[in-house]
């Protein structure tokens, strides 16, 4: 399950970033590629947990009995950082480069795309935390019946795919030319008969 989840996440992100917005070009089943994608996700997750680690240690050593929802903060930081690490590693083609200067410059030139990404990434991160908590917390499953475990796994999977889609879209639009305005209708649709008549006069 984890192997398929990691591979599907990477495929959605990679294909969307490459411009296949309808995900038509789906790669064939390849176990070795799945293992490679799982290793890629594991390395990216390891690098991206570094910024969240101080918060995790703070909760462990300063709070006697931290509730489960205290971990939303490091989880959100981890997932947001994970997004940029994945983008950097994909753009550089190397798993040893979790931070890409070229990518940072490209994102800095498109602050609107960054804002759109974060607007979706924050709620997706919180939902992924809640759904994973439903899936792995045995007391929760015991109290609310076992079916919530499967429901949590399903919702976590769907949300992670939406997260990958959001990440791929940001990568796609960031790579667009300078004169491209994302999410705007085509200029041909903006041309009205009155504007064309005025231009002909």
Burial (CB < 10 A; 0-12, 13-18, 19+), residue 15, is buried
Taking only the tens place, the pLDDT of each residue in 147-163 is: 677 787 888 889 999 99
What's the CA gap between 98 and 81, in Å, rounded?
10
Taking only the tens place, the pLDDT of each residue in 95-149 is: 777 887 788 888 888 888 888 899 999 999 988 888 887 777 656 556 556 667 7
Q: Which residues of 16-36 are buried (b: 16+ CB within 10 A; e: fewer)?
A: bbeebeeeeeeeeeeeeebee
Judged by DSSP in three states, 115 sits in helix
Sign for the pseudo-dihedral over CA of 27, 162, 154, 139: positive
Is the full-model pTM beyond 0.85?
no
Domain ranges of the chain: 2-181
Q: φ, ψ for residue 177 (rounded to 5)?
A: -60, 165
Kindly report the number of other CB atoms within 10 A of residue 174's CB atom: 20
């Amino acid at each position: 399950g984890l192997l398929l989840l990691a591979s599907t996440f990477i495929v959605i992100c990679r294909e969307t970033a490459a411009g296949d917005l309808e995900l038509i070009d789906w790669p064939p089943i390849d176990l070795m590629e799945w293992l490679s994608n799982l290793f890629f996700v594991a390395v990216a997750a390891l690098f991206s947990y570094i910024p969240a680690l101080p918060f995790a240690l703070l909760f462990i050593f300063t709070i006697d009995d931290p509730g489960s929802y205290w971990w939303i903060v490091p989880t959100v930081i981890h997932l947001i950082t994970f997004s940029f690490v994945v983008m950097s590693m994909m753009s550089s083609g190397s798993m040893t480069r979790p931070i890409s200067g070229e990518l940072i410059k490209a994102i800095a030139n498109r602050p609107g795309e960054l804002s759109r990404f974060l607007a979706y990434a924050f709620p997706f991160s919180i939902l992924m935390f809640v759904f994973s908590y439903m899936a792995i917390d045995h007391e929760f499953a015991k109290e609310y019946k076992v079916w919530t475990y499967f429901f949590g796994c399903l919702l976590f999977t769907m949300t992670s795919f939406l997260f990958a889609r959001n990440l791929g879209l940001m990568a796609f639009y960031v790579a667009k030319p300078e004169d491209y305005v994302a999410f705007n209708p085509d200029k041909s649709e903006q041309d009205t008969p009155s504007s064309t008549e005025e231009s002909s006069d």
